[in-house]
Structure 1
Amino acid sequence: MTGPDSGVPAPVDSPTPPEGVIRTHPGRRAEPARELPETFLGRSEHLLEALPDPTYVVDVDLSTRPAGYRVVWVSSSLAQMTGYSVAELRDSAPELVTAHGRVRTALREALAAGLPVSVVRSVPRKDGTSYRATVSFSPLGPGAGGWGRWLVTVRDATEELASAVLAEERAAAEERAQRGLSLVARVSDILADVDSATALVEISALLERRIVPWAAFYADGTQLQKVTDLAGISYHRRDLRRQARVREVPDPVVGLFLDTRMQTVVVDPREPVDEGTLTGELLALVAQDDSAPDDGPLWLLPVLGRKAVLAVLAVRPPDLEADESALPAGELTTVLELVARRVGMAMDNLQLYDREHRLAETLQRAMLPEQSHVEGVDVWSYYAPSSEHAQVGGDWYDVLDMGEGRVGVVVGDVVGHDVEAAAAMGQLRSVVRAYAAEFVEPGKVLGRVDRLVAGMRIARPASFVYATLHPRPGGETWDVAYSRAGHLPIVHVSGGRATQLEGANGPLVGFGGRPRHTGHAVVRPGDVLVFYTDGLVERRDRSMRDGVAALVSAAEHIDAPDAAGIGEELLQQLADAPEDDIAVVVLRVPDPASDPTHTWSGPRERRWQMPMDPKTIARARHAVLRACEAWDIADTAAAELVASELVANAVMHGWGRVDLRLRDTGDGLRIEVEDANPSPPVVREGRVGRVGGFGLHIISRLAEWGWRPTPAGKVVWARVRAKEAWAQRPAEE
């Protein structure tokens, strides 16, 4: 007699083994039973009928193959469960529980060893249906004719197995939820590093490792492009609303950018798409991505900011039917939406901070004066805000061309790093300029400023130094007159020795209450005056006194022949890690008798901050000539013309201020011009009668050039080689 089911052995402690699985109970091995009298069942039937599960008693003969089975007794509850009569079950009961294959072998071995054993299988009913049952064999001892007698219990396992399936489903759901939560938590950890330029790359890689085959972020600027930085695209974006109004063809990606709801748009690359649409641009970018799968639909989710869609998250979903480990579609969409929302908020916060940062910097730079070009003296100025604050502070400088060879220099510091400090700085700058034009003596200027500031009730205390420089009769020496309102002393460098002009000091601005004094010093050709704020010299690990001493020592050993070179080396030695705003003005009296063959030992780099003014173009040419003279570069015509064109483009098409940087590369000169307009330079076609449009063509003939974006705008650079190096350049350049 054989049954229809088969399976594999299961562990003893398995609560719900699958159908056909054998389960033995070695810990319950029966002791040898004594010989039972034939009247045993008759006296015990009422006890067996009282058992909670349907049962029957069977004698088993294992000496034959197949084994012999003989039913001795059947409970009425088994008859009710199966629909068979007791008489029918006496003939068919063995077939209800026997098995074939490996299960039959395992069952035979367990019965031969006298061990209790269980098998899970389907038990048929008379009406053709069946139910899952756990059939257990328990030894009762020897039966008639030497056969083994066993008590067989047929326990309905439908509810137990259903509970096990439900438990497995719950465990799987919990595991999927845990996967999703851990992924979202990891995304939050990545986004915590807002300075990371590769945050979106890391998030895409995380999604690909955990839940999807491929993912990437795209944003729209002047064109749609893949983005890896949380800052997104800094320059201007296209007017997608106008594009949506003009086009009659539906564009899913444009709709995704314009609709500020979280949604999932499915795009099939196999369907025809208009190449002029944003959807066509996206599909073309995905097709160019070597890491993207070749076929299958794309899921697109908006990366939402507070008021706009900042980017699009594109993913290739897994094959949900083939991949058993994949999240169901609903759960996958939920996880992707959570990721897109977190990325959107992080991008929005970063862009909001960046806008505030730029606004603060623009305000600060707008309130700073533009250095005037002064004939007869070499002046270099520099300002850098503290990186720890919102780039708003109270440091300022001013260089005044007062006519008749007289130069005025102001450097000051208002306490604080906020808009109030910047406003106080702007007021003081205007007041000082007004009185400097009226009074010659610096002490009188500071005295008038004291009285006016006391009436204006400026809430922030401030320090500053004001000095005038003019040639003495005969022109061989210059006179320096100065007065200080609690400010650091001017450093005077003459003949390789640096001293501090410590006289004429008084209380902070607004706290004078008594006449201010004026100090005097004599300056000779070649001498240098250094004006500065405390950001140049003070550090957490260095006192103000030690910082000023370091400045004096550095100034004594600088042998640069121009003010820009002196300032550059001071910054490199003292301002490598500034903790406060820095304002520096270096003034050098030219020395016509200086040795033109003098070799400078300092860094061969220069930088200038210039206004957006046509006069800046001439200043830039003058700066290049002075730097080339200091570096003993004879062939300056090409460098002068290239710098002039770069600065002219910045003045005409940029905004903010112009930053000019020069560096001697050994085989030529590298020129960099930065402005706040992030739009890239465009090579225009030159035509007869057209004004402009030839600048980049000229630069291309004289130098190698390029550009790169910056957090504040863009840098356009050019490398002008020496004639010998240009002739020997590699062909691929």
Structure 2
Amino acid sequence: MPPSVGDLVLRGAASIGVPVFLTGAFEDGLPLLWANEAFEKYADVRFSDLAGRRLSVLGDRLSDPEDAAKVSAHLAAGEEVQAMARSALRGGISGWVQVTLTPARAANHGRVTHWIGISVDVSEHMERQAAQLATLTVENRQREDSDLIAQTTELLADLEYPYVLRDIAELLGHVVKWAGFYVNDDGLKPAEGIDVANPPSGRGRRHARYVAGDDQPRGGPQRGIQDQLGDTTAAGGTTVAPGRLLEVVDSVQDLLDGKGDEPVTLHLDIPHAQYSASGWLQRELNRRLTDEMGGVPRSVVVHPVAGRKSTLGLLVVWLADAGADEVLFYEGTDESEEVRGVLEVVARRAGNAIDNARLYAREHRLAETLQRAMLPEQAEVPGLDVWTYYAPNAEHAQVGGDWYDILQISTEIVGLVIGDVVGHDVEAAATMGQLRSVVRSYAFELFTPGEVLEKVDQLVAGMGIPRSASMVYAALRKKGDEWQAIEYSRAGHLPPLLLRRGEVITLDQGGGALIGFGSRERTTGEHGLRPGDTLLFYTDGLIERRDRPLRLGLEALLDTAAAIQAKDAAGVGEELLARLADKPEDDVAIVVVRVPDPEGDRAQPTLSPRWRRWMLPSEPSSIGRARHAVLRTCQAWGIEESAQAELVVSELVANGVLHGWGHIALRLYDTGEGLRIEVEDSNPAPPVATDGHPNRLGGFGMQIVDRLAEWGWRPSGTGKLVWAKLRDQAK
């Protein structure tokens, strides 16, 4: 009798190389009823050892535990199902199988009585998939880390942004729970930005000793560390040996001293009493993290923020939540190593940015100091209204060759000098300084301008000064109470102008070659002066442009000067700047000297524009100069609140001198509704009024401003601009 189809199928299933098994009904727990030889070889077990075992344990071995409910639902409905499950393989190793369960129904009523299972080894496939997922995860993490570093680099590129370190710490919140920067300059201090306004010296010092539980620094010998700690234990019961504490304390100090470059762990739950930065940093972090995060970790990791030659600060990070017995070290998982790599890159780039900012600030301050040393403080000449202005070309690092000088030679003679050295570098500024000193010396010795320039020629030729220069030297002579005449000599410089009641007179006599090239006798020009006359001295930066000849620029100056209606020197200068120097391409130096006309000034109302501007050096003498300037302007405009304006200007300029750097721009505007005062400096940090704390230093000046005016501030192109609008004190 030939075998039945069922017998053939059973024989084939028994001999096939794929593991096949038969189970009972789902309601009975899928008991294992039969398995072929391939199943026994794959599982390395005899069927007799598994017979009757329920296959319901499959749910505990699925690749995704959430699939268990889906598999049970399909089985209960009598539907074919596939699932991935872990499986013990030959040799005790673990692998993955894909199990397919197909229902076998009874012929008479269609109920599922058995399940036919096929098990396929997919371990290699799952390993490849896991490797691909791991690679993708690593790539995604690396991409996120690269994006974070790129954003950090972009933030650090703006050296004038005051909150760059704060924003970088917030970015690091994607990889750590908390991060904060501390700069190291004469002691640690929290930092939100890179201070370029007052660049630190970079000299770190050790902090004073701290006694546990005492926030006040103390000097003198301290009791032993073992006596202070006793049997101190860290949270979780781990005993902390004194040697470990000393190691931690010294490690943080070593980072600041530049003796180490590896991150160290600082335990915040151990009392510190050592002569180092660790004690202060521990207390500061406990306070700061409590305020910002509502809790304090057992330990934080400290990275050095290194510059080129020294450690400039610390980057402190709270990696993650730690268990009671866990201390956060970097050793361990690959993820911690990746986080460490990101933090080290960020700390290194922050250190380079701080170093560059300080270098930039030092060079800029050096250039400013050099330039300021060459320009005089504006002299208050009795009987004359004098206004001066100097603006270097920003493209040339605030260093140029233009200069001016005002010399009170005697009660009857005032000397005026304006000059321009070729070039825009330190050598040009040095040449300018030499020439200025030479001219000053001869101006007090010789009283005729031509003779002064002849002596300057001789000395410059002997000194071998490499740069050529142009110059005008003029002497204003007084007889009695009236200014009688101006004598002048020019060395290759543009002629001064004399403005007299709408007429412009070009003082073009006394011409000659550039300084150092005078082979002929220098001549002296002369012109009489009257009350109300205004003298204008300037350098070519006021009128020279790339898109027009110098001749056309001089014609524009003459037309502008003829239309000026101002009655004070500052008004004349401001009109010139507003119309001619909106976009200067070179350094600009201007000196405006007006001979007062008491009768004419009282008889005619002012028609000058209702704004004024002064460029003041960042030095204490500028405060007094600003007060005088605002008083003169209020008198010219007929503003009664001159005393309030003087006080507000004094406080704002004082803030710029104390906390800013670079030139200070002072502007006054008559808005029709009150006087508006603007003071601009190169420090982007905003002004802060005192909060009333008895130990608070500074900020009281802004309280005075707040009583007298409405005020505010905004960022400017190079720093900040503080404005104030005077209140009507009668209200």
TM-score w.r.t. the length of structure 2 is: 0.71
Closer/same/farther in 2, CA of residues 577 and 268 from structure 1, 3 Å limit: farther
Q: Deviations over 1:233-264 (max 9, x none)?
A: 72667986253464869699766544564454
422-431 or 565-574, which moves further after superposition?
565-574
Distance 1:429 1:259 in 2: 45
Distance 2:603 2:287 in 1: 60
1:446, distance to aligned residue in structure 2 (A): 2.9
> Among 494, 500, 507, which residue is 1:494 paired with?
500
1:353, distance to aligned residue in structure 2 (A): 0.3
661-670 or 390-399, which moves further after superposition?
661-670
Match for residue 63 of structure 2? none
Aligned pairs for 1:354-393 (under 5 A) are: 354-393=361-400
Match for residue 434 of structure 2? 427
* Alignment partner of 1:479 is 2:485: yes
Distance 1:486 1:450 in 2: 12
> Among 71, 78, 85, which residue is 1:103 paired with?
71
1:124, distance to aligned residue in structure 2 (A): 6.4
1:61, distance to aligned residue in structure 2 (A): 10
Closer/same/farther in 2, CA of residues 111 and 462 from structure 1, 3 Å limit: same
What one-letter code is carried by the residue in structure 2 that aligns with 1:229?
Answer: G
Q: Is the 8 A contact 1:707 1:715 kept in 2?
A: no
Match for residue 23 of structure 1? none
Q: Deviations over 1:678-733 (max 9, x none)?
A: 9x9999xxxxxxxxxxxx99x9699759999999x9999998978xx4353xxxxx
SS of equivalent to 1:181: helix
1:530, distance to aligned residue in structure 2 (A): 0.9
Q: Deviations over 1:425-482 (max 9, x none)?
A: 12222232333344443334334433433333322221122222224x7876632222
What one-letter code is carried by the residue in structure 2 that aligns with 1:434?
Answer: S
Aligned pairs for 1:427-466 (under 5 A) are: 427-466=434-473
Distance 1:344 1:672 in 2: 32
Match for residue 79 of structure 1? 40
Distance 2:90 2:82 in 1: 23
Distance 2:157 2:665 in 1: 35
> Among 344, 352, 370, which residue is 2:351 paired with?
344
In the alignment, structure 2 segments of 5+ residues that lack a partner are: 60-67, 210-218, 226-248, 324-332, 691-699
Q: Deviations over 1:187-225 (max 9, x none)?
A: 1122223333343343234333x3344444344678976
Between Structure 1 and Structure 2, how many residues are aligned?
Answer: 653
> Among 93, 97, 101, which residue is 1:133 paired with?
97
Q: Deviations over 1:296-324 (max 9, x none)?
A: 45554343322344344344434489xxx
Match for residue 414 of structure 1? 421
Match for residue 508 of structure 1? 514
What one-letter code is carried by the residue in structure 2 that aligns with 1:179?
Answer: E
Distance 2:192 2:405 in 1: 42
Closer/same/farther in 2, CA of residues 477 and 103 from structure 1, 3 Å limit: closer
Distance 1:62 1:567 in 2: 104
* Alignment partner of 1:181 is 2:146: yes
What one-letter code is carried by the residue in structure 2 that aligns with 1:79?
Answer: E
What one-letter code is carried by the residue in structure 1 that aligns with 2:424?
Answer: H
SS of equivalent to 1:726: coil
SS of equivalent to 2:423: coil
Match for residue 135 of structure 2? 170
Cα RMSD (Å): 5.6
1:354, distance to aligned residue in structure 2 (A): 0.8
Closer/same/farther in 2, CA of residues 640 and 514 from structure 1, 3 Å limit: same
Match for residue 558 of structure 1? 564
Match for residue 525 of structure 1? 531
Match for residue 693 of structure 1? none
Q: Is the 8 A contact 1:703 1:720 kept in 2?
A: no
SS of equivalent to 1:379: strand
Distance 1:328 1:617 in 2: 57
Q: Is the 8 A contact 1:371 1:610 kept in 2?
A: no
Q: Is the 8 A contact 1:306 1:345 kept in 2?
A: yes
Aligned pairs for 1:698-717 (under 5 A) are: none
SS of equivalent to 2:519: coil
1:497, distance to aligned residue in structure 2 (A): 2.3
Match for residue 284 of structure 1? 287
> Among 158, 163, 171, which residue is 1:206 paired with?
171
Distance 1:211 1:300 in 2: 15
1:266, distance to aligned residue in structure 2 (A): 5.0
Distance 2:579 2:301 in 1: 54
1:577, distance to aligned residue in structure 2 (A): 3.7
Closer/same/farther in 2, CA of residues 123 and 659 from structure 1, 3 Å limit: closer
Q: Is the 8 A contact 1:219 1:310 kept in 2?
A: yes
* Alignment partner of 1:307 is 2:309: yes
In the alignment, structure 1 segments of 5+ residues that lack a partner are: 1-33, 684-695, 729-733
Closer/same/farther in 2, CA of residues 636 and 507 from structure 1, 3 Å limit: same
Distance 2:131 2:42 in 1: 25
Q: Is the 8 A contact 1:262 1:337 kept in 2?
A: no
Aligned pairs for 1:477-626 (under 5 A) are: 478-540=484-546, 543-596=549-602, 598-600=604-606, 601-605=608-612, 607=614, 609=616, 623=629, 625-626=631-632
Q: Is the 8 A contact 2:498 2:535 kept in 1?
A: yes
Distance 1:702 1:38 in 2: 104
Closer/same/farther in 2, CA of residues 358 and 163 from structure 1, 3 Å limit: same
Q: Is the 8 A contact 2:197 2:661 kept in 1?
A: no
1:526, distance to aligned residue in structure 2 (A): 0.9
Match for residue 160 of structure 2? 195
Distance 2:629 2:427 in 1: 35
Q: Is the 8 A contact 2:149 2:342 kept in 1?
A: yes
SS of equivalent to 2:438: helix
Larger Rg: 1
What one-letter code is carried by the residue in structure 1 that aligns with 2:153?
Answer: S
Distance 2:675 2:545 in 1: 37
SS of equivalent to 2:138: helix
Distance 2:33 2:705 in 1: 108
Q: Deviations over 1:468-500 (max 9, x none)?
A: 2224x7876632222222222212111122243
Distance 2:627 2:264 in 1: 56
Alignment identity in percent? 38
Match for residue 693 of structure 2? none
Match for residue 18 of structure 1? none
Q: Is the 8 A contact 1:483 1:504 kept in 2?
A: yes
What one-letter code is carried by the residue in structure 2 that aligns with 1:307?
Answer: K
Q: Is the 8 A contact 1:387 1:579 kept in 2?
A: no
What one-letter code is carried by the residue in structure 2 that aligns with 1:417?
Answer: H
